[in-house]
A and B are shown apart, each in its own frame.
Chain A
Amino acid sequence: MFSKSQAKAFFLVGTGLCAGAFILLTIDTLKRIPKQTYSQNLTDEAIRGKHLFETNNCAGCHTILGEGAYYAPELTKVYERRGESFIESMLRDPEAMYPGQRKMVQYKFTDSEIKDLIAFFKWIGEMDLNGFPAKPDVMRPAVQTEALPEHMVSETAKLVRPKVFDQMCTACHSVRSQGGTVGPALDGVGTRRDLAYIKQWLISPTSLKSDSKMPKMPLSDQDISELTSYLSQLKEVN
């Protein structure tokens, strides 16, 4: 068939060619990475953030760019998904944001370290990752019927869902069966509670219920008024 020396030549030539091609591609890739990842936005803050991420082995629980551990949420898009104030409270006290859930380590970060980590997540989130993470592409019934039931349409024509709701509240609450399960589903909360109650609740949950498990959220006055008007329009459907 073939001799041992031919087999050896196959090994040596194949390896040489592939290694050569790999090195050339690496040189090209190194040239292109800065543009694709917006290296110009890699501030000193973000670099310090990366260092904190590394020295605390956050990737021993989380994935970032899809690499790491499978115990805690993917963090590539966390800046967009949760926003600054949510991440900030998370890093100050993980239990506050997710009481009784799977545990994250309680770190003792200073204010500036928290800023650094947030800057790092912001930079990571803006990279061009060739489409990762993919958008969910299987439609669920609840999503398909984004159009509201008839008798609600008139009232809710102006129903705009504030961005801060998606960032901060869906971690614990669901609306139309999308979101977390720590707190009650908020469908119909506008029927259960009146506007003043919701507003007061958002200012301080414990002022209405002393043993409330919902943390006081870091919200601006503007956030509170947007959220209040949104929630009070989520009426019971039947």
Chain B
Amino acid sequence: MKYKSQKVAYWFFAACMGLLALQLVYGFIMGFAHMGFDGLHSIIPFNTARATHTNLLVMWLLTGFMGSAYYIIPEEAERELISVKWAYVQLIALLVVGVTAIIGFHFNWWEGRKFLEIPRPLDYLVVVDVLLFIFLIGGTIWRGKRYTTTSMVLFFGLLMTALLYLPGMIPTDHQTMDSYWRWWVVHLWVEGVWELIMGAILSFLLIKQTGIDREVIEKWLYIIVGFTFLSGILGTGHHYYYIGTPRYWLMIGGIFSALEPVAFLGMAIFAIAMAKKGGRTLDNKTALNWTIGCSVISFVGAGLLGFAHTIPQVNMYTHGTLVTAMHGHMAFWGAYAMLILAIITYTMPIMTGRKIQDSVMNAFAFWVSNIGMICMTVAFGIAGIAQVYMERKLGLDFLGVQKEIEVHFLGLVLAATLFTAGVIAFIWNFIRYGLPMDSKR
């Protein structure tokens, strides 16, 4: 660790681990409910479990991005963070707001718009907190010794993430408008500005791990994020097919979103090619596994499985079914969850000075969580296709169809158990690293 202030990242990553663990608990509650075991219904009805599951996901990913930025920016800008104290304040404030929101979900306090369930008063607090974060990172870059492409792309991605939260707060009484603006947040995040963050973090990891010249890597970074925006911005149209918006979106959304996988393919080829070319002897194989794995699984989950239902004629039948859940899981896991687990795996030995990154347990974590996630995707996929066929093609009753596909949720829960075993191993290994070096008494 070159700069002392980089160790704030540790506490952000520790928070990630806690939130991730809790997210999975709520995933199981829903998996069981789909199987017919809804014993918790009176305390945690499905909508509470769902809002908690997805908001914890978004929260730990954002926390992870922030931690990554606090680690990467000092090293790129070649100076300490402008304030460590405020970075801790920012983390604690974020956690307090997040936990308040989640407790609120258990008492019917929310906004009821998918992924943006956080109640309005808390939205403002989130905005303030993120502005503080942007200020700390921006200030560090501003006063730094050098501006690198990696840090600028990362900063721009984070800034746009903050700004794009605002359209989600535009008040409206119209369901279509509500949905229209919601996608400016949800879609333009995951298929737009978060890909910038992803590209930048991958570049940082590759520069550090392969020793390839920064100029080469950063050149490709521009090309990849160029493709992201070229396809992703107008690709938002794939959510405007059937919500009461004009018909031309079928054409525009269809064409541009069909090009979105190109950026993910680019990311995968880029990571694999750089890792192959790199001459450095590796002292952290697991981190490179997570780095390459991230680029590959995101191509499968977001690129291929996204493409599978993005054509309007297909989406007409799959829109709002378990097929979407199949895609959502693998895309989020591959692109963003694995990205954060990659940077955690890379930074932990450096921050704590303990070299247990290539332990059996850490290798187990990588393989078992990924195999588990692939099996979960298959289970959701089969359930989804069966649902689409019976409900949308044959016109059978919703609940009757759900009865038929209950068995696939047994498959889901088994796969999720495997996946969870991997995640537990990861968290256990995280704990074994102990605290960052100079905070030890």
Contacts and interface: CB of A to CB of B under 8 A. Distances in A.
Interface of A: 2-4, 7-8, 10-11, 14-15, 18-19, 21-22, 25-26, 28-30, 32-33, 36-37, 39, 42, 47, 50-51, 53-61, 63-74, 98, 101-103, 105, 124, 127-138, 140, 170-171, 178-181
Contact of B226 (A7, A68, A98): A7
Contact of B46 (A39, A61, A74, A131): A61
B210 interface: no
A65 B393 contact: no
Nearest to B216: A4
B242 A170 contact: no
A7 B38 contact: no
B112 A56 contact: yes
12 contacts: A15-B233, A22-B234, A32-B246, A37-B176, A51-B173, A59-B112, A60-B114, A61-B45, A71-B34, A102-B38, A136-B395, A137-B393
A57 B244 contact: no
Contact of A33 (B33, B177, B222): B177
Most buried by A among B112, B180, B389: B112
Nearest to A179: B397
Contacts of A8: 149, 222
Contact of B176 (A10, A33, A63, A170): A33
Interface stretch (B65-73, B318-326, B338-346, B349-357): B318-326
B392 A11 contact: no
A4 B218 contact: yes
Contact of A65 (B242, B325, B397, B399): B242
Given A171-B397, A180-B399, A7 B219 contact: yes
Nearest to A53: B112
B54 to A, nearest CB: 10
Given A37-B244, A54-B112, A130-B247, A21 B234 contact: yes
B230 A105 contact: no
A14 B236 contact: no
A162 B400 CA distance: 23
Contacts of B229: 11, 14-15, 18-19
Interface in B317-338: 317, 319-322, 324-325
A10 B392 contact: no
A39 B220 CA distance: 47
Most buried by A among B182, B320, B394, B403: B320
B316 A59 contact: no
B284 interface: no
Measured as residues with beta carbon below 8 angstroms from the partner, the interface class of chain B is: 35 or more
Contact of B38 (A51, A64, A103): A103
B392 A60 contact: no
Nearest to A17: B230
Closest 3 CB pairs of A and B: A60-B47, A136-B395, A132-B242
B217 to A, nearest CB: 10
A55 B394 contact: no
Contact of B245 (A19, A36, A50): A36
A180 B320 contact: no
B173 A55 contact: no
Contacts of B176: 33, 37, 65, 127
Given A8-B222, A14-B229, A179-B397, 17 more contacts: A4-B149, A7-B223, A21-B233, A25-B248, A26-B180, A29-B240, A37-B244, A61-B47, A67-B182, A67-B243, A70-B325, A71-B30, A73-B399, A74-B398, A129-B244, A132-B242, A136-B394
B244 A22 contact: no
B264 interface: no
B233 A181 contact: no
Interface string B388-419: 01001111111110110000000000000000
